[in-house]
């Protein structure tokens, strides 16, 4: 029965809980059993909030029994990436400087998940401040790929992806700047979505206007991902780039579409000259071309954006500098991934600093820090 609960989709579990066929406490216990059995080998969940999760599950059970109006994620165990603040639950950012940090306020996206009925089960591993494509840090160590523990689950939302793929949680939250949701999803055989910037509020965010990093769902099915996305998106006054979604429900769209007539899809095997494993290309190509069977128009095209690599690295480096502005004096205390990201912005910043040498406040200090690299 434990495995039955943890392998069911989030949509199925939510329906069972809403119909009072299953208790949120039973669902929680099933996932805790899997965590106890699997997590020591894989190191996906680094802070387990089992006590607060149990209290929330009991409240969720009582609400269901009373016949209260339930949210779309009512009673579902959800894990949160360890760079996203959670009130009362340790949030380390994967950094030794914050290994005992406990926020007093939830990130807006966490607040929304709770409002939809989700039970926050714990925090998932990430490279320090999400700076890296492999999931490891000096606080918690390495997260392993569940398909082959000798391999990487990718990053930076690797812990979230592993937790979902193995049934430790129904759903997981991640963040994505340069594939930090999408790569772990692909490495672990699940679904990950990087929403359009602004759809998921990014509060709290030092660079509140920046569209680089976004919050998104990781799930085992497209329907589950859409269900979670609906709970996360929407306008927020706390996020200056926030926008309302152009649809009433992502889940309804995914759940009701019977054909894709009129949809045009372009297939690109390799957009950046990195190279794609032949087996992966064959699988992806076949899956994409099969969409013709349900009405879509699919065309293979050539699309090369490899020239964007250097500008992207400069942008990401400057973004990291902005994110860590308050901690720049302690830069040497951070790991190599974070310091490397800061250094990537040097070339761009050199010209920027020359042009703005007389600017007030942050620019002179930023220039001094960047010149170290």
- Residues annotated as catalytic are 81, 156, 180
- Residues 53 and 45: their CA atoms lie apart, in Å, by 14
CA atoms within 13 A on the CB side of 283: 7
Which is nearest to 18 in space by CA: 79, 77, 55, 67? 67
Helix spans in the chain (H): 2-7, 10-18, 24-42, 50-66, 108-115, 158-165, 182-188, 222-232, 250-256, 278-289, 309-323, 336-344, 346-355, 362-370
Collapsed DSSP state (helix, strand, coil) of residue 271: coil
Report the distance separating Cα 83 and Cα 67, nearest Å: 36
Helix (H/G/I), strand (E/B), else coil: 245: coil
**Are the CB atoms for 154 and 125 separated by under 8 Å?**
no
Q: In whole angstroms, what is the distance from residue 334 CA to residue 35 CA?
A: 30
Contacts of residue 355, Cβ cutoff 8 Å, sequence gap at least 6: none
Give residue for tokens 């152009």: 246
| Interatomic CA distance for residues 187 and 105, integer angstroms | 32
């Amino acid at each position: 029965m434990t495995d039955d609960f943890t392998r069911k989709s989030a949509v199925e579990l939510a329906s069972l809980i809403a119909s009072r066929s299953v208790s949120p406490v039973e669902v929680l216990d099933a996932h805790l059993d899997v965590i106890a059995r699997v997590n020591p080998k894989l190191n996906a969940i680094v802070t387990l909030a089992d006590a607060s999760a149990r209290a929330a599950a009991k409240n969720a059970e009582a609400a269901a029994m009373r016949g209260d109006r339930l949210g779309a994620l009512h009673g579902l165990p959800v894990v949160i990436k360890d760079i996203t603040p959670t009130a009362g639950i340790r949030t380390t950012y994967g950094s030794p400087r914050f290994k005992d940090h406990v926020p007093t306020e939830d990130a807006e996206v966490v607040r929304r998940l709770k409002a939809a009925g989700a039970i926050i089960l714990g925090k998932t591993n990430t490279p320090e401040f999400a700076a890296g494509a492999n999931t490891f840090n000096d606080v918690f160590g390495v997260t392993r790929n569940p398909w082959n523990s000798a391999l990487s689950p990718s990053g930076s939302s690797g812990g979230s992806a592993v937790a979902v793929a193995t049934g430790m949680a129904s759903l997981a939250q991640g963040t994505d700047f340069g594939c930090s949701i999408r790569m772990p999803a692909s490495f672990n055989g699940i679904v990950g979505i990087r929403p359009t910037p602004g759809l998921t509020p990014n509060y709290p965010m030092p660079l509140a206007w920046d569209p680089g990093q976004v919050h998104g769902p990781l799930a085992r099915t497209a329907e589950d991902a859409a269900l979670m996305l609906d709970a996360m998106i929407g306008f927020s006054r706390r996020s200056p780039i926030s926008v309302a979604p152009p649809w009433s429900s992502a889940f309804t769209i995914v759940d009701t579409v019977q054909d894709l007539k009129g949809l045009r899809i372009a297939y690109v095997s390799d957009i950046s000259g990195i190279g794609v494993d032949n087996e992966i290309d064959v699988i992806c190509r076949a899956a994409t071309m099969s969409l013709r069977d349900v009405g879509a128009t699919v065309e293979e095209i050539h699309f090369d954006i490899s020239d964007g690599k250097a500008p992207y690295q400069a942008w990401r480096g400057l973004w990291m500098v902005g994110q860590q502005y308050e901690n720049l004096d302690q830069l040497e205390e951070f790991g190599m991934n974070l310091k490397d990201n800061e250094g990537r912005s040097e070339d761009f910043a050199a010209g920027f600093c020359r042009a703005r040498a007389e600017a007030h406040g942050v620019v002179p200090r930023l220039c001094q820090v960047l010149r170290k690299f």
